[in-house]
């Protein structure tokens, strides 16, 4: 535990895991309802919503019961999603004319969010190699009324087997996670395990760039705080994959830890009051 906490101090972040209390946050599904109408309906159910200023349809939610237990939730009017996790799809910002890929899609929160930006049109392909998790993905797509998405039970490393080139790709990569959502995190994580996860992330990122059209855009994200899975992966990609780093423009978070990754975005739990998170926006050169 001290190893990870001490290295966070090296990055200027003094973190007490016991103080990491995440707020419940939701994302309005504007394919079914507008923000104003939903806020009014939930207020009648004694749910207080506070707009998250740096998100398009994100709100902090407070109530005496679960945010996933309302009629509005079951009707697909909103999705319960941590605030920082709503950023990658918003930064990718696909539209209805794009062919889009969500590489590690289940349980589907970001997939549904991508479909919102596409106005439920165009083509959205969602992959996951964990077949049982695809049930959650399918249920969320159905609940939120998503109709433009094709699902494949496929390891994203083999995306070339579909013989499709994409305008935009979201790679919310498998990662080591962080202590905000896993209270046993420090007992399970080692630096060796982090490095092994980074190798998997590089494999997926290489496959993603291969599947992009020239000048296509890709958002890479993790919910890990570890530089091996974030800045080091991006620096490797910049050196080897024929891509450039685009600025992530958002009035929240902090820059990446190195000069080469200063255009990336980090969320620190102690500073931003979200789970730990990292994202980078990339563009294929040729």
d(CA 166, CA 118): 14
Looking at 11-130, list the stretches that DSSP marks H as alpha helix, in order from N- to C-terminal side. Answer: 35-44, 71-74, 87-92, 109-117
DSSP per residue, 102-168: ESS-TT-HHHHHHHHHTTT-SEEEEEES-HHHHHHHHHHHHHTT--SEEEEE--GGGGGGG---EEE
d(CA 131, CA 126): 12
Sign for the pseudo-dihedral over CA of 207, 210, 211, 216: positive
Tell me 64's DSSP state: S
Asked if 146 and 122 touch (Cβ cutoff 8 Å), the reply is no
Active-site annotation holder among 20, 175, 180, 223: 223
Strands (E) in 138-273, as ranges, are 149-153, 166-172, 212-222, 243-246, 254-255, 265-267
End-to-end CA distance of the chain: 43
223 given a catalytic annotation: yes
What is the dihedral sign for C-alpha 57, 264, 102, 121? positive
Torsion of CA 6, 12, 16, 19, to 10 degrees: -160
Distance (Å, rounded) from C-alpha 140 to C-alpha 109?
Answer: 8
Spatial distance between the Cα atoms of 265 and 250, rounded to a whole number of angstroms:
8
Residue 24: which H helix or E strand, with range? none
- Hey, which residues are catalytic here? 223
């Amino acid at each position: 535990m001290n190893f990870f906490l001490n290295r966070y101090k090296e990055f200027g972040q003094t973190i007490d895991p016991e103080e990491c209390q995440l707020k419940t946050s939701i994302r309005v599904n504007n394919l079914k309802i507008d923000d104003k109408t939903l806020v009014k309906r939930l207020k009648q159910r004694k749910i207080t919503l506070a707009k998250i200023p740096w998100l398009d349809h994100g709100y902090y939610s407070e109530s005496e019961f679960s945010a996933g237990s309302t009629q509005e939730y079951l009707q697909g009017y909103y999705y319960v999603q941590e605030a920082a996790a709503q950023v990658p799809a918003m930064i990718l910002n696909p539209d209805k004319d794009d062919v889009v890929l969500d590489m590690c899609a289940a349980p589907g929160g970001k997939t549904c969010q991508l479909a919102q930006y596409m106005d439920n049109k165009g083509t959205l392909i969602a992959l996951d190699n964990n077949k049982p998790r695809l049930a959650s993905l399918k249920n969320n797509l159905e609940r939120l009324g998503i109709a433009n998405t094709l699902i494949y039970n496929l390891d994203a490393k083999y995306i070339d087997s579909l013989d499709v080139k994409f305008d935009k790709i979201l790679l919310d990569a498998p990662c080591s996670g962080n202590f905000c959502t896993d209270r046993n995190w420090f007992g399970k994580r080692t630096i060796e395990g982090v490095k092994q996860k980074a190798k998997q992330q590089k494999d997926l990122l290489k496959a993603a760039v291969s599947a992009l059209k020239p000048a296509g855009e890709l958002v890479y994200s993790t919910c890990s705080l570890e530089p091996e899975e974030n800045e080091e992966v991006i620096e490797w990609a910049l050196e080897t994959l024929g891509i450039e780093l685009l600025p992530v423009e958002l009035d929240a978070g902090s820059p990446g830890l190195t000069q080469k990754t200063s255009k990336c975005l980090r969320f620190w739990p102690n500073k931003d009051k979200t789970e730990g998170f990292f994202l980078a926006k990339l563009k294929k050169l040729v």
